[in-house]
Structure 1
Amino acid sequence: MEKLEMYAELFDINKMEKRTWISPDGKFIDFLESSMFICKDPRYDDGLYGHYEIQVTRWAKNTKVALVHILFDPGLMGDGDKPDLDETFIQVRKAPNDDMETLCKFVDELIELANKKTSFI
């Protein structure tokens, strides 16, 4: 299976979430975002409280691919407050929107890095 087929949903602009960033000078800049679960953090049994994911952010000219560690603290659940969520960007790569070969290569490299961090390979 080709890499583009494997990651089709991750890069499908019709399935990406539409978001808006407000720049420091007050401009509204639209972008698209999607994510894909990679593996659980071995310190947590179910992968819900700690996991790694690939986040894709598509801007006007470039696409950012990032390996992100998500840590969720359920300690505040049930008392009306939002649970504590911490996102740590482990590594970020960027390429032009139309360079799908490079973007898929970045995803492969970041998945391998996540697996090394969790000792799954």
Structure 2
Amino acid sequence: MIKKIVLAIIALTIIIVGVSLLVHFNNRKVAEDKIDRYIADYGIPKSEIKSEEYPMFNSLSAPKGFTKTVYVKNENNKDNYYIFHYDPSSKKVEFSGVVEGSEVSIHNKLIKKLKYQPSDKVLNKD
């Protein structure tokens, strides 16, 4: 009897973890697709992307959602890169950039120091 209860609890735990992982990976795929469309709208050519960081799981202290960091080729300053964050509650992608080591918003004057500037399509979404 106790073995059946333990097996039922283990099976239930496996099912719950499995469903949670499926939901997470589905949400992650949706977020990545939206972020990739936003990057294309922003105006960064795929051929100019040197590397991307898209962590499987965010840290507990990170804001809710998914974040992709993009580094481009031939950027004048190695401390400059692009951050795209997808918020599942608002279903929107938000951009910020790191310029000379400081994170700035899309409307900050320092954004002009990045190699690629936001397109009118992105600026008009705000």
Q: Identify the TM-score tier after normalising by the shorter chain.
A: 0.3 to 0.5
TM-score (norm 2): 0.32
Q: Which protein is bigger by CA-based radius of gyration?
A: 2
| TM-score, structure 1 normalization | 0.33
Instruction: Give the number of the structure whose residues are more often helix, by fraction.
Output: 2
**Which one has the bigger strand percentage?**
1
